[in-house]
Amino acid sequence: MVDKTLELFDCGHRACGGCGAALAARLVMKGAGTNTIVVSSTGCMEVFSTPYPETAWKVPWIHSLFENASAVASGVEASLKKQGRTEKVVIMAGDGATFDIGMICISGAFERGHDFTYICYDNEAYMNTGIQRSGATPYDASTTTSPAGSCSFGNKLPKKDMPQILAAHGAPYVATASIAYPADLMQKVEKAINTKGPCYVQVHAPCCTGWGFESEQTIAIAKLAIETGLWVNYEMVDGKVAKVKKVVKKPVEEYLKTQKRFRHLFKPKRQDAEIATIQAMADRNFEKYGTEIKLKKE
Amino acid sequence: MLEITEGSFAVAEAVRLCRPQVISAYPITPQTHIVEALADMVANCQLDADYITVENELSALSACVGASAAGSRVYSATTSQGLALMFEVCFNAAGMRLPIVMTIANRAMGAPLSIWNDQQDSISLRDSGWLQFYAEDNQEATDLHFLAYRVAEDHSVLLPALVCFDGFILSHTYEPVDMLTQEQVDTYLPKFTPYQRLDAADPISFGMYATPDYYHEFRYETDNAVKRAKDVIKNAGKEFGTMFGRDYSAMVEEYRLDDAETAIVAMGSICGTIKDAIDEMRAEGKKIGLLRIRVFRPFPSEDIAQALSKVKRVAVLDKDISLGAKGAVALEVKDAMYGKTIPVLNYILGLGGRDVRKKDIAAIVAMVEKGQGDQFYGLRKEVL
């Protein structure tokens, strides 16, 4: 059972007001519990939570490099096992550390089958260095390295399907979650922690600074991502989709309009073809995962 | 017990006797025989370690970082390109003060690709905070592992350590090695007691970021720790000598240097050849001696200045080069000799496995006597 009152990610850290990642860390730790060792990659969370000599982590925590969290965690897990210790190992890494620079280490660690839980807090770009695109950046999002311009609509590539890649490695438990659904998120973390082997939970964590929205909108935007089908909350057990979050479908532009990173799709003029392309991506998600709740017509 | 064995197998046996709890390594020539031998020991229950077979060297050392921080004695081995891939982790491991011991079967750095010996790989890591030991022969390569763990894990040091021995020249050569027993090693090297570790019962944060208000002092403290290792090496090396008859208290070894007019300074297996060359030159009445550097980090500047204070000239032989400057050993020896009027000349030789023979040592002695130096030795002009 998740102890919802447990606070292992303390207040006083340096995250922006309305930071989705900070909320993700807090919720993840409630799900993980006190008998946990956290391995962090370099990134926003590492920086805002551990300015020496202060730390927001009330559990043992280690950060080594940007790309190697899963290799460090492999060593931690092996070390604990050899000493007969019972702590659980949780990796906290951003999408850049996960989708891009950490890919080799992740693949190796998942292949080896270490008993750890990998949490990717996905804010869909390199926020720590100033909002550059990563493999998790959605199609048409404007970032500082995929800027929208007179001959560009921003990021030209679709988001990499990281959960499927890790499921293909034989991960026994893979899930996506969102800070908009805290109970679900905590339960998924708890489930991952208690599943033997390498588990992966990818948490959608909107970034008000990087995406361009007011800080009180973080949860609402995370929720809209799911309602429009641009983010799907699901679980995969032994490679098979076991549980999905069903929603009443909303058009993608309700989500896109809320954020400056998609502003170029509406101003100076509305880009119908681009919006339609994104809608088609959402439609494919609804179809693939069967997440649409069809309301009875009056 | 004295046995004839390959250098790599002797090193693997020494590592086994050190009882590492976690080993993580990636194969690379000429390090492979070490990690293969260790894998074999684990597979046959001769070594109770968790052996993590990783996807590259960056992960090998990263796994060692995690395992060490969680409180286990750890081990890795690599060389050349593998060490270069670890570069980022190396600085990190030293900064986090993790007593990882790693063997380097010294090999040249590409391009062009070369699997053969020089010492460019480990030398390139000189600014990282790792202790660096260089072996002359396989007996020493073996013994230095016991010493390295003792020094690295000492709570006044807490730094990672490289034990370097020349690739192929030592790693693939059979020599007699007097191997310690498990009982002897257990007496010399007690169980690893981490100064601090990742522990849910007592949470601490490792590897935080430091603002300009703190970073400067972190580097200062780490530098101090490297320097403190000098006394620890002295004591632990002496204790080794008392217990097992081979004294490693000196960071430099003097060979026929007492009345020498010309001193050669070098590191590693080349010193065996140099000693033979010196014996021959001595027989001809030439006053030549050798100062062998066994510990390159911390750098024994005072010992070197002292040992070379009475010679008339110094020839420093480097199996490495800091391109655009000089050999790394020469640069540091010149620094150690600052303020003295004794000429110190540098010779870059033996790169990428080029053989160095006694006649080459004699030729270098002739050059330094004529004041010729600070150059590559033995260039094949026809291929330039």
Per-residue pLDDT tens digits for A73-86: 999 999 999 999 99
CB contact under 8 A, B207 and A64: yes
Instruction: Check residue B319 and give its pLDDT.
Output: 98
d(CA B274, CA B368) in angstroms, rounded, equals 15
Architecture of domain A20-289: 3-Layer(aba) Sandwich (3.40)
Taking the C-alpha atoms of residue A129 and residue A107, their distance in angstroms, rounded to an integer, is 25
Global pTM reads 0.97
What's the CA gap between B31 and B13, in Å, rounded?
A: 14
Indicate if the pLDDT at residue A3 is higher than 90: yes
pLDDT per residue as tens digits for the range B113-133: 999 999 999 999 999 999 999
Percentage, residues of chain A above pLDDT 70: 100
Q: Is the pLDDT of residue B283 over 90?
A: yes
A125 touches chain B (CB under 8 A): no
Q: Are A45 and A92 in contact (CB under 8 A)?
A: yes
B69 reaches A (C-beta below 8 A) = yes
Mean pLDDT of A34-44: 98
Question: Is there a contact between B364 and B333 (Cβ–Cβ < 8 Å)?
Answer: no
Interface test with B, best of A74, A81, A115, A169 (most B CBs within 10 A): A74
Structural domain boundaries in chain B: 2-244, 252-383
What is chain B's mean pLDDT, rounded?
A: 98
DSSP labels for B74-93?
Answer: EEEEE-HHHHHHHHHHHHHH
CATH architecture of B2-244: 3-Layer(aba) Sandwich (3.40)
pLDDT digits (tens, 9 = 90+) for B310-344: 999 999 999 999 999 999 999 999 999 999 999 99
Q: Is the pLDDT of residue A298 over 70?
A: no
* Geometric angle at alpha carbon B158, from B157 and B163, rounded to 5°: 90
Q: Does A74 contact B66 at a Cβ distance shorter than 8 Å? A: yes
Give the up-direction half-sphere exposure of residue B208: CA atoms within 13 A in the CB hemisphere: 20
Return the structure tokens found at B310: 């009475």
Decide if B2-244 and B252-383 have a common fold.
yes
**Model confidence band, residue A4 (pLDDT cutoffs 50, 70, 90):** very high
Residue A17 burial (CB count, 10 A): 11
Q: What is the pLDDT of residue A1?
A: 83
d(CA A106, CA B69): 20
The count of residues in chain B is 384
Residue extents of the structural domains in chain A: 20-289
Q: Is the pLDDT of residue A297 over 90?
A: no
Q: For the residues A120-132, what does the mean pLDDT come to?
A: 97
Q: What is the pLDDT of residues A226-269, one digit of tens each?
A: 999 999 999 999 999 999 999 999 999 999 999 999 999 999 99
* Residues sharing a CB contact under 8 Å with residue A272, sequence separation 6 or more, in sequence order: none
Model confidence at A103: pLDDT above 90: yes
Q: Are strands B288-293 and B252-255 parallel, antiparallel or unpaired?
A: antiparallel
Mutate to test the interface with A, among B198, B211, B216 (most CBs of A within 10 A): B198
* A84 interface with B at CB cutoff 8 Å: no
Q: Given CB atoms, is A250 within the 8 Å cutoff of chain B?
A: no
ipTM confidence:
0.96
Pairing of strands A148-149, B288-293: unpaired
Burial class (CB in 10 A: 0-12, 13-18, 19+), B291: buried
pLDDT at A23: 98
Question: Is the bond preceding residue A21 a cis peptide, omega within 30 degrees?
Answer: no
Both tokens assigned to B238: 């002496």
Distance (Å) from the C-alpha of residue A126 to the closest C-alpha of chain B?
Answer: 18
No. of H helices and E strands in chain B? 12, 16
- How many Cβ atoms sit within 10 Å of the Cβ of residue B201? 9
Whole-angstrom CA distances from B234 to B103, B150, B217, B227, B296 are: 21, 11, 26, 12, 14
Q: Tell me the nearest-neighbour CA distance from A235 into chain B, angstroms.
A: 28
Neighbours of B376 (CB within 10 A): 13
Interatomic CA distance for residues B263 and A102, integer angstroms? 50
In this predicted model, what pLDDT tens digit does every residue of B73-110 receive, in sequence order? 999 999 999 999 999 999 999 999 999 999 999 999 99
% of chain B beyond a pLDDT of 70: 100
DSSP code at position A126: B
Q: Report the distance separating Cα A158 and Cα A137, nearest Å.
A: 7
Does residue A80 sit at the B interface (CB-CB below 8 Å)?
yes
Cα A161 to Cα A57, A82, A120: the distances in Å are 30, 34, 13
Mutate to test the interface with A, among B205, B206, B209 (most CBs of A within 10 A): B205
Q: Can you tell me whether residue B356 is helix, strand or coil? A: coil
For residue A296, name the pLDDT band (cuts at 50, 70, 90). Answer: confident
Domain B252-383 has CATH 3.40.50.920: yes
What are the strands of the beta sheet with B295-297, ordered from one edge? B50-53, B22-25, B74-78, B101-106, B161-166, B131-134, B295-297
B198 touches chain A (CB under 8 A): yes
pLDDT at B62 over 90: yes
